[in-house]
Structure 1
Amino acid sequence: MKVAIPSGLILSAALLSSLCGYAEGAGEWDFVSRVRNENAQPQRQALPVRLEPRSSGIMEYGPRWERPCAEAFKANEVYMLSVRARAIDPQAVGSVALKLAVSSPGKIRGKVRPVFRCGPVLSAEWETFSAPFSVPEDAAPGSLSLFLVHGWGDAAVEVADVQIENLGSEKPLQAYARKGRWYAGQEADAAWRLEAQSMIASNRMGTFSVQVLDAQGEPVKNARVVIEQQRHAYRFGTAVNSLLWRWIAPDAASNPQLQAEFKAYRAESGRKGLTFAQRQAEIQKYFEVLKADFNYAVFENALKWEAWSGAWDGFRQEDTFALTDWLHASGLDVKGHALVWPGWGHAPAWTKKMADRPEALNRLVHAHITDIGAAMNGRVAAFDVLNEAFNNHDYMDVMGSEVVGDWFRQADAVLPDAQLNVNDFLLMANGGYWTEKLDFYDALVGRLLDEQAPLEGIGFQSHFRHSFLTGPQRIWVLCDRFGRYGLPLVCSEFDVDLADEELQAAYTRDFLTAWFAHPDTQAFLQWGFWQDSHWLPYAGLYDRDWRMKPNAKIYRDLVYNQWWTGREEARSSDDGRVELRGFLGNYRITAHASGRKVVLENIELKKDGASLSMKL
């Protein structure tokens, strides 16, 4: 099956929102724009069309070309979407993007999600891009369309030679790789890579100055000093599914609720031969990997209002407390998520009864903050106080925006030792060009600080789903923008939902490198790590059978090899002194001389270094 487009179609993002049109003919494409004035008369556009980019910062799909796919799609087959494209700008190198989507006709936003999206970034030269995809269910002829959409950037886009090819069902989707440039700075020799290494050495390493002395306090020459890192200062974390905790309890096999869940899981997953004991072993592995791979954890759902109140089945506060204790005992700090998610859809249904009673709603929110905060005080290192306020503002619509500062003050009263954060999505992701939302978030942070609210961290969710992968240098631009407030920046919910495992791993490497390198960042949390406990099917580090995917290998190589001081040693000089460089964190330091040895444990290395003496 192939769908073709005439060579030389010109696309760009500028179009009055009231304009739409189409071109007739079997081999031609329909031109569509999001119509705000439903009474506006469509205007017909001839092919090819040249449009100038929009100046609007609104994150919406721009004018687009649509072509229905005449052939059927099968859920068990793999398809390859290919296109040649360029930006009409001699200076464009990764600063202009094209969005490609396969979706229901006329729908690329709203409740109906596209079955596939991707976003190549363009240069002024013609380049070929291809991306494999599959559909979640069989689709009849004409039920899906291919869309070409101007993504972002200041230049028009020219597109040619578009086709969809059926590759059959012999190989899985993961066996096929994308071709072309999918984010700025993807190249192996991109200049940002050397800059990042310099930034990491400057921002994430320090120097131990050690003097070795004998029993009389005299310097020991030629003593051997060894440093071995025990823990990162930087927080590398993941979301944790608290519902899995019950599976490793001693009485799990006799728990009727778990038995029912197991039967449902086995039926839904098609794993008919799986035993309860095998499922327990898989989940036991979950906690072993959690302990081995991370030093920071955030509850995915257990501390959301619906779960905490019992509105969601399966969540119990005693499980949350027990898992928190286990995480601490396993060496992981804990982050809470989220105290106030200010939309009716993210709180128990009965809260909406307060929609016309602002004072009652305010008391209710404060009572919830007090309840959960008092229970988790001393148990969490940080908490997302406000979550996704740009898209969820029902509470502020009822009570006014000034209540947000009060929520932070209330949280500070009951969680005095926790870092209190804001959190939102699609700021770093999708190219990092949703200017309207970035401006809103910037203003929110500034207003809270002006009001002297105890805001102490800024969270960026960073879910990368199908479309634009944000280039590392754009990540730095955004970090600079929000870093000016002097608050730590937290990558709070990272994942890359790509079936192409090599591209997924490469982008994980480059995003994490850029994020870790920037001096204002504090933490990097992934939103899950195991396919069987992840909200996105391809995004985990480990697949269902605990195969370590390429992105897991990249993550572990960076965090526990390239950025980990496993063992460094040197000999002391005449004055008994030695200097050793290492990544920031906690260390074991051992000094050897003349058959004697002294060991110091849990010595912290900070950015400004650490000086100490060791007496043999």
Structure 2
Amino acid sequence: MPDLDPTSRRALLRRGLAGAACATTAGCAALQGRDDASPAEPSPGQTPSVTTTPGNAESRIQTHRTGDLALTVRRADGTPVTDATVSVTMREHAFRFGTGVEARYLVEESSPGDPYRERLAGLFNTGVVEHRNKWRPWENESERELAIRASEWLLERGLDLRGHAAIWQRFDQPVVPEDVVEKVRSDDDDRAAYVSRRTGDHVSEILGHYAGDVASWDVLNEQIHAHHLTDVIDPDASHLRAPEVVQWFERARQADPEASLYLNDYDVLAGEYPDYRDDYAELVRFLQERGAPIDGLGFQAHHDGYEEARSPDGILDTLDRFADLGVAITVTEYDTVGDGWTDERAADHLRTFLRTVFSHPAVEGFVMWGFWDGVHWAERAPLFREDWSAKPALDVYRSLVFEEWWTDETGTTDADGRYRTTAFLGKHDVTVETGGRSRSVRASVTDPVSTTELAVEGPAESP
């Protein structure tokens, strides 16, 4: 296994720490249509029920992840084409199914045709450079070059790019530049001003570099757990109400007006940590009160031990709570590591967890923190072992993402030249065949409420 730079390693997260889909509704809980028979949260010490599908998940998925597509086929003279065969085949999900990406392995240790590259491009539509877009690596020329090359590789293959992470204040990970760490630990009178300038300038620089290319950015990572920098800049403020965080988000918006700006943290969706959930909500409300341009929340989903698996209703309750704050949600850094996990348990958990989060209207994406043991921080990636043999979770992932939630429909036009179907939100190829000729067009179904109308001129008839 190659040497890896530290990433946001869930098994290490508690060590050494010093320190908008539902917004316009009456509340997400009312939207869900829960089955009261869904399992309750386990009591302490009880084995969680992670294999029970939440009630009405399928109906929620149909409501929030599909839309109606109506096709009208007419000849050049405007007359309808009847009994034409219409096929609708999905090309790409609108929902972001992503993975963390090890930049050095991608651009320097793999080559065209390598399983890492092939699986990455074939299984996901979103990529996250795991380590080298963090602050200290970014200021190292060779590390920055790796980050840029990996990002370009992803973009060239049509994957969306998430940025991770502009500011992360861990001192026991190599993510904060050494001069900033030294200044924080000093007694210098100018240390607050120095750290404020360096952090703000970095946010502007890295978001400005990727402006227009990155779909969403983790502007601030793990503020609940590590806040050395804000403690220096805003010594009289709680780390949950530090004014400097508002400035970071404002700098981020100025640097890239189009990217969705995120907080990202752990112990919120996985495991039973109600105090951390309360802290996260307080931080979000503070930023909103101050007018910070926060668009979304990242919920890290490292499950460090089988006991951190939660019931579907528990997951939905947490998603509801934060969606009601008017922000989008992305599940980030998903994996199952630590004691109690077997390959079979991990596969069952992925099935239930992914179905649950996909069914929630506020969730925009689901990101694994790597998919192959060979470059996974704990050698416990969800889908592939180091020898590239498949884990049971691979079949689960493929069967959901590319079969159950994949559009592949065929029918015929009626007397008015009309054909209607339901399609999962995303991009589709639509082919009309009649009289031995065919014509194909591209359709994007993006609205789960309104019908997507598509007019197609029928293929020219054979002479």
Q: TM-score range by the shorter chain?
A: 0.7 to 0.9
For 1:286, the equivalent position in structure 2 comes to: 116
For 2:34, the equivalent position in structure 1 comes to: none
- Between the aligned partners of 2:364 and 2:409, the Cα distance in structure 1 is 25
The alpha-carbon deviation at position 371 of structure 1 amounts to 1.9
Counterpart pick for 2:139 among 294, 309, 318 = 309
Residue by residue over 1:3-23, the C-alpha shift from the partner in whole angstroms, topping out at 9 and shown as x without a partner, is xxxxxxxxxxxxxxxxxxxxx
Match runs of 1:180-329 below 5 Å = 182-184=47-49, 186-187=51-52, 192-193=54-55, 195-248=56-109, 280=110, 284-310=114-140, 315-329=142-156
Higher relative contact order (CA 8 A, sep 6+): 2
- Between the aligned partners of 2:164 and 2:48, the Cα distance in structure 1 is 30
Check the 8 A contact 1:420/1:454 in 2, yes or no. Answer: yes
For 1:494, the equivalent position in structure 2 comes to: 334
The alpha-carbon deviation at position 377 of structure 1 amounts to 1.4
The alpha-carbon deviation at position 387 of structure 1 amounts to 0.6
Task: Give the 3-state SS of the residue equivalent to 1:538 in structure 2.
Answer: coil
- Between the aligned partners of 1:304 and 1:388, the Cα distance in structure 2 is 13
The alpha-carbon deviation at position 306 of structure 1 amounts to 1.7
Relative distance call for 1:221 and 1:513 in structure 2 (3 A) is same
Asked whether 1:589 is paired with 2:430, we answer yes
Counterpart pick for 1:347 among 170, 176, 179 = 176
- Between the aligned partners of 1:308 and 1:285, the Cα distance in structure 2 is 27
Hey, which bits of structure 1, 4+ residues long, moved more than 4 A? 91-94, 280-283
Unaligned runs of 5+ in 2: 1-13, 15-36, 235-241, 459-463
For 1:131, the equivalent position in structure 2 comes to: none
The alpha-carbon deviation at position 601 of structure 1 amounts to 2.3
Which letter does structure 1 place at the counterpart of 2:366?
Answer: F
| % identical aligned pairs | 31
Which letter does structure 2 place at the counterpart of 1:197?
Answer: E
The alpha-carbon deviation at position 609 of structure 1 amounts to 3.0
- Between the aligned partners of 1:593 and 1:572, the Cα distance in structure 2 is 10
For 1:420, the equivalent position in structure 2 comes to: 261
Check the 8 A contact 2:166/2:220 in 1, yes or no. Answer: yes
For 1:154, the equivalent position in structure 2 comes to: none
Asked whether 1:477 is paired with 2:292, we answer no
Check the 8 A contact 1:585/1:606 in 2, yes or no. Answer: no
Relative distance call for 1:474 and 1:282 in structure 2 (3 A) is farther
- Between the aligned partners of 1:336 and 1:247, the Cα distance in structure 2 is 21
The alpha-carbon deviation at position 222 of structure 1 amounts to 1.3
Task: Give the 3-state SS of the residue equivalent to 1:206 in structure 2.
Answer: strand
Check the 8 A contact 1:342/1:395 in 2, yes or no. Answer: yes
Task: Give the 3-state SS of the residue equivalent to 1:448 in structure 2.
Answer: helix
Residue by residue over 1:272-297, the C-alpha shift from the partner in whole angstroms, topping out at 9 and shown as x without a partner, is xxxxxxxx579921111100000001
Check the 8 A contact 1:207/1:605 in 2, yes or no. Answer: no
Check the 8 A contact 2:96/2:126 in 1, yes or no. Answer: yes
For 2:28, the equivalent position in structure 1 comes to: none
Asked whether 1:575 is paired with 2:402, we answer no
Relative distance call for 1:339 and 1:92 in structure 2 (3 A) is closer
The alpha-carbon deviation at position 611 of structure 1 amounts to 0.3
Relative distance call for 1:216 and 1:242 in structure 2 (3 A) is same
Between 600-609 and 456-465, the greater mean CA deviation after superposition: 600-609
Task: Give the 3-state SS of the residue equivalent to 1:546 in structure 2.
Answer: coil
Which letter does structure 2 place at the counterpart of 1:304?
Answer: K
For 1:34, the equivalent position in structure 2 comes to: none
Say how many residue pairs are matched: 406
For 1:612, the equivalent position in structure 2 comes to: 454
Asked whether 1:385 is paired with 2:219, we answer yes
Relative distance call for 1:216 and 1:236 in structure 2 (3 A) is same
Task: Give the 3-state SS of the residue equivalent to 1:331 in structure 2.
Answer: coil
The alpha-carbon deviation at position 591 of structure 1 amounts to 1.2
Check the 8 A contact 1:301/1:307 in 2, yes or no. Answer: yes
The alpha-carbon deviation at position 574 of structure 1 amounts to 1.2
The alpha-carbon deviation at position 605 of structure 1 amounts to 4.2
For 1:434, the equivalent position in structure 2 comes to: 273
Counterpart pick for 1:521 among 330, 350, 363 = 363
The alpha-carbon deviation at position 504 of structure 1 amounts to 0.6
Which letter does structure 2 place at the counterpart of 1:436?
Answer: D
Residue by residue over 1:169-221, the C-alpha shift from the partner in whole angstroms, topping out at 9 and shown as x without a partner, is xxxxxxxxxxxxx323534xx5x24x101100111011111111012011122
Between 519-528 and 598-607, the greater mean CA deviation after superposition: 598-607
Q: Could you state the TM-score of these two structures normalised by the residue count of structure 1?
A: 0.63
Check the 8 A contact 1:382/1:419 in 2, yes or no. Answer: yes
The alpha-carbon deviation at position 298 of structure 1 amounts to 0.7
Residue by residue over 1:374-432, the C-alpha shift from the partner in whole angstroms, topping out at 9 and shown as x without a partner, is 221122111100110011111121112100000000011112111110000011111xx
Q: Could you state the TM-score of these two structures normalised by the residue count of structure 2?
A: 0.83
Asked whether 1:336 is paired with 2:152, we answer no
For 1:86, the equivalent position in structure 2 comes to: none
Check the 8 A contact 1:239/1:525 in 2, yes or no. Answer: yes
Which has more radius of gyration?
1
Check the 8 A contact 1:203/1:518 in 2, yes or no. Answer: yes
Greater helix content: 2
**RMSD of aligned residue pairs (Cα, Å):** 2.2
Task: Give the 3-state SS of the residue equivalent to 2:292 in structure 1.
Answer: coil
Task: Give the 3-state SS of the residue equivalent to 1:461 in structure 2.
Answer: strand
For 1:559, the equivalent position in structure 2 comes to: 401
For 1:540, the equivalent position in structure 2 comes to: 382
Task: Give the 3-state SS of the residue equivalent to 1:542 in structure 2.
Answer: coil
Task: Give the 3-state SS of the residue equivalent to 1:523 in structure 2.
Answer: strand
- Between the aligned partners of 1:98 and 1:301, the Cα distance in structure 2 is 34
- Between the aligned partners of 1:369 and 1:283, the Cα distance in structure 2 is 36
For 1:406, the equivalent position in structure 2 comes to: 247
For 1:463, the equivalent position in structure 2 comes to: 302
Check the 8 A contact 1:532/1:543 in 2, yes or no. Answer: yes
The alpha-carbon deviation at position 575 of structure 1 amounts to 1.1
The alpha-carbon deviation at position 323 of structure 1 amounts to 1.9
- Between the aligned partners of 1:558 and 1:236, the Cα distance in structure 2 is 11
Between 417-426 and 315-324, the greater mean CA deviation after superposition: 315-324
The alpha-carbon deviation at position 318 of structure 1 amounts to 2.3
Which letter does structure 1 place at the counterpart of 2:178?
Answer: A
- Between the aligned partners of 1:322 and 1:602, the Cα distance in structure 2 is 31
Relative distance call for 1:92 and 1:522 in structure 2 (3 A) is closer
